[in-house]
Amino acid sequence: MTLEILTSDSLSPLRHGFFTRNGGASSGVFSGLNCGPGSSDQSDVVAINRARVAEAMQVAPDRLVAVHQVHSPDVITVTEPLTGKPVADALVTATPGLALSVLTADCQPVLFADAGAGVIGAAHAGWRGALDGVLEATLDAMESLGATRRNTVAVIGPSISQRAYEVGPEFLEDFLADDPDNARFFANGDGDRLQFDLPGYGLHRLRSAGIGQAEWTRHCTYSDPDRFYSYRRSTHAKDADYGRLISVIRL
């Protein structure tokens, strides 16, 4: 099966992609393009999958740059291939030939570009990272390389949608403590449960930060098992582990 790569006209002409699980070498619960070295999948198979992604992005595997993600607001600036995996949740660069990547399985993968300035970014933005400011921090880091917010585009890739993201009242309290207006991103669910709009919240944070354009591809990871891995769906199914999707952008 060939790779399936979702793209956005807003990020054109830069080479980029939100890769689905289709076209990979993994099997079992990881069936498809599992690109997560932190999963319990076979490491050599994950390496094959990542090499296929690098080839699709027209870079050598060592130029497919990644970080060790921990749901932080931390960003690193990349100028050359990394020898290890620094702890962070976003990357920016102005160096041609480097492909910035993030892994997700319900959280938001966000690809950024100021094509005119030649500056790009990629962020892993789950609820904690988004609440703590990883999206704004990515824009700040891009500006330090010469990007301009009003000329920057951000696209949120496949993420868990509001109808699939049930949370408890204590979750809501964290958001209300930050900003009472965040109540608008929650809908009533069963009993004391609530439904959280993660992509809607991400778009709000980006637009409030003064970005020129922001959009979501409107793909729900939880609701489409044939195309996407989902941490929450795997948890509900009591699977032993889950695959990780990769999203990439390069100059």
Please indicate, yes or no, whether residues 109 and 179 belong to a single structural domain of this protein: no
CA–CA gap between residue 14 and residue 8 (Å, rounded): 10
Please indicate, yes or no, whether residues 19 and 60 belong to a single structural domain of this protein: yes
Q: pLDDT tens track of the chain, all 251 residues?
A: 799 999 999 999 999 999 999 999 999 999 999 999 999 999 999 999 999 999 999 999 999 999 999 999 999 999 999 988 899 999 999 999 999 999 999 999 999 999 999 999 999 999 999 999 999 999 999 999 999 999 999 999 999 999 999 999 999 999 999 999 999 999 999 999 999 999 999 999 999 999 999 999 999 999 999 999 999 999 999 999 999 999 999 99
Please indicate, yes or no, whether residues 61 and 32 belong to a single structural domain of this protein: yes
Q: Name the residue among 62, 114, 124, 59 with its Cα closest to residue 91.
A: 124
Please indicate, yes or no, whether residues 229 and 143 belong to a single structural domain of this protein: yes
**What Cα–Cα distance (Å) separates residue 163 from each residue in 18, 37, 198?**
21, 30, 10
CA–CA gap between residue 66 and residue 82 (Å, rounded): 8
Question: What number of helices (H) and strands (E) belong to the chain?
Answer: 6, 14
Please indicate, yes or no, whether residues 146 and 230 belong to a single structural domain of this protein: yes
Number of domains in the chain: 2
Residue 108, beta-bridge partner list: 125
Q: Structure pTM?
A: 0.97
CA 222 to chain centre: 15
Structural domain harbouring 21: 5-159+210-250
